[in-house]
């Protein structure tokens, strides 16, 4: 797949950059799982220094010239063109964003995670606010350095979803917001369950952990390349895709669907990284192409597969084996428990119908933060008011409001719209296949995974997101599929 001698030289140099990124990933995973809290004092410095080393190797004059030379070569393979495209994007960042900004950003966000965690535990936004202010200021600098055509937020969107603009996001929400509100009105009039007794039932962590592993076994996860841990906020990381992929789950002791569907969600992310073609491992294209496409895989497994009636009936025997309290409930009860619909405060606990309104809230606030139209100190009240307008609920404190998500502590401004993008793409995939529910009913999860592997996973980052979707599905970002899916399922 690599024919060009120039690209071969590029990959030889890139191996060091990949190794440093590998170390960064492992340290990041450890920071959120097993590292003692005070370890952040050394970890933040180490990660900042490694970030500078990565930038140094990326900006090596010989390396830059090799990339420029390869870009001019004719008859490159798709893989080679993909490698050059990805590296050009990386070089744009490192050439335009000063090293001191990169170092400061990594240091601040490394420290900010611990501060956010403490602020959330105490439900006091003012503890985290100074760090968020620094992160927003640095994000503005990065946006200005990278450049944009219409809005500074577009430069940040593009970091997470290549080619995505505010215009794309506005178009998606212009379809979703009225569609969701209409659907909620219909569900209200038809009496779709807003709550279920199982939401209040406590569970033993060991029993639910065993059930989660057995459900993942049913889906066929590769034991030698995959592990499950625990963290305050569930996440997935490909330490070395496709050879070492890790997920985390959170256990609160009540409402067992939360850890179950967190595991399914993160498994969808992991499956993407695990199915990337081995021939492109440890190269610039050896990982998922974007966060929106990545999210489509997690939401596909979590919702379209996991919350389907067919899947619920398949996993019911597994759940009943581990959770004795389910003896009082039918399989149909489980289906409605997994698909309760009600406006809620917490995004990660939101149902399929209301979920994207949470993202719309964050999208609006992020744009206001980046332009400076809102002060950081004003965010909690603005958050609460918008939550009430969009969903009809109002947080009682900062922990269930503005502090609920970890992402801003990571510096991930421009990230949230990719969640909705993932839901949109997942629904597109569902309709483009045409028989997903049939395969689930038959228990043919291998066929489901093979379809995803062929259409999305194996390509890694060879093609940019819009090109990948157009190549395999004939269109991009069509939100009407998601509205149709929700209408058909719930009405």
Angle of CA points 309, 311, 315, to nearest 5°: 120
Strand partners, 237: 246
Q: 249 and 234 in contact (C-beta within 8 Å)?
A: yes
Q: State yes or no: 265 annotated in a binding site.
A: yes
CA nearest to 251, candidates 208, 199, 194, 191: 208
* Closest C-alpha among 395, 414, 423, 440 to residue 479: 423
Residue of 152, 161, 231 lying closest to 420 (CA atoms): 161
Instruction: Answer yes or no: are the C-beta atoms of 156 and 370 closer than 8 Å.
Output: yes
- Angle (CA) 433 358 267, round 5°: 45
Q: Which class for 73: exposed (0-12), middle (13-18), buried (19 or more C-beta within 10 A)?
A: middle
Length of the chain: 491
Report the alpha-carbon distance of residue 426 to residue 305 in Å, rounded.
10
Helix/strand/coil for 344: coil
Q: How far is it, in rounded angstroms, from Cα 156 to Cα 140? A: 9
Instruction: Please check if 269 is assigned to a binding site.
Output: yes
Spot the catalytic one: 266, 302, 352, 366. Answer: 266
**Rounded Cα gap, residues 462 and 454, in angstroms:** 13
| Cis amide linkage into residue 430, ω under 30° from 0 | no
Residues 6+ apart with CB under 8 A from 179: 479, 482, 483, 486, 487
Q: In the structure encoding, which two tokens stand for residue 352, read together? A: 């399929």
Active site residue 487: no
| Cα–Cα distance for residue pair 257/79, rounded to 1 Å | 40
In the 8-state DSSP scheme, what is residue 237?
A: E
CA 431 to CA 422: how far, in whole Å?
A: 14
> Residue 353 gets which letter from DSSP?
T
SS3 for 194?
A: coil
Q: How far is C-alpha 198 from the geometric centre of its chain's CA atoms? A: 27
Count of CB atoms within 10 A of residue 349's CB?
17
Q: Just list the catalytic residues.
A: 266
Known binding-site residues for Zn(2+) equal: 265, 269, 295
């Amino acid at each position: 797949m690599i024919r060009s001698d120039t690209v071969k030289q590029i990959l030889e140099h890139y191996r060091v950059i990949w190794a440093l990124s590998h170390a960064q990933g492992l340290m990041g995973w450890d920071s959120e799982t097993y590292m003692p809290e005070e370890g952040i004092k050394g970890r933040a410095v180490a990660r900042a220094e490694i970030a500078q080393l990565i930038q140094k190797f990326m900006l090596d004059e010989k390396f830059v010239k090799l990339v420029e030379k390869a870009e001019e070569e004719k008859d490159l393979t798709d893989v080679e063109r993909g490698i050059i495209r990805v590296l050009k994007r990386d070089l744009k960042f490192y050439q335009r964003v000063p090293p001191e900004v990169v170092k400061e950003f990594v240091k601040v966000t490394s420290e900010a995670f611990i501060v956010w965690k403490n602020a959330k535990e105490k439900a006091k936004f003012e503890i985290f606010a100074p760090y968020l202010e620094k992160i927003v200021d640095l994000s503005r600098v990065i946006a200005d350095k990278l450049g944009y055509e219409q809005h500074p937020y577009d430069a940040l969107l593009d970091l997470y979803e290549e080619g995505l603009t505010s215009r794309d996001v506005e178009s998606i929400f212009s379809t979703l917001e009225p569609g969701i509100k209409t659907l909620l009105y219909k569900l209200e009039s038809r009496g779709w369950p807003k709550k279920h007794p199982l939401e209040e039932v406590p569970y033993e962590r060991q029993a639910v952990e065993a059930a989660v592993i057995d459900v993942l076994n049913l889906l066929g996860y590769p034991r030698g390349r995959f592990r499950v841990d625990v963290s305050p906020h569930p996440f997935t990381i490909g330490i070395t895709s496709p050879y070492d992929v890790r997920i985390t789950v959170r256990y609160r002791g009540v409402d067992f669907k939360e850890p179950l569907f967190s595991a399914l969600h993160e498994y969808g992310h992991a499956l993407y990284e695990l199915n990337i073609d081995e021939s492109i491992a440890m190269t610039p294209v050896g990982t998922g192409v974007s966060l929106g496409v990545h999210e489509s895989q997690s939401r596909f497994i979590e919702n379209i597969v996991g919350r389907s009636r067919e899947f619920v009936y398949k996993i019911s025997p597994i759940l009943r084996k581990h959770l004795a309290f389910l003896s009082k409930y039918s399989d149909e009860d489980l289906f409605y428990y997994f698909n309760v619909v009600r406006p809620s405060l917490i995004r990660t606990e939101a149902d399929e119908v209301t979920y994207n309104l949470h993202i719309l809230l964050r999208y609006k606030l992020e744009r206001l933060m980046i332009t400076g139209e809102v002060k950081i100190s004003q965010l909690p009240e603005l958050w609460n008011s918008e939550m009430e307008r969009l969903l009809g609920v109002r947080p009682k404190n900062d922990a269930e409001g503005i502090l609920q998500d970890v992402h801003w502590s990571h510096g991930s401004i421009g990230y949230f719209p990719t969640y909705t993008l993932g839901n949109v793409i997942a629904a597109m995939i569902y309709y483009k296949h045409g028989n997903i529910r049939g395969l689930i009913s038959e228990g043919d999860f291998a066929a489901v995974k093979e379809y995803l592997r062929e259409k999305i996973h194996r390509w890694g980052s060879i093609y940019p997101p819009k090109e990948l979707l157009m190549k395999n599905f004939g269109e991009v970002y069509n939100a009407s599929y998601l509205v149709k899916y929700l209408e058909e399922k719930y009405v």
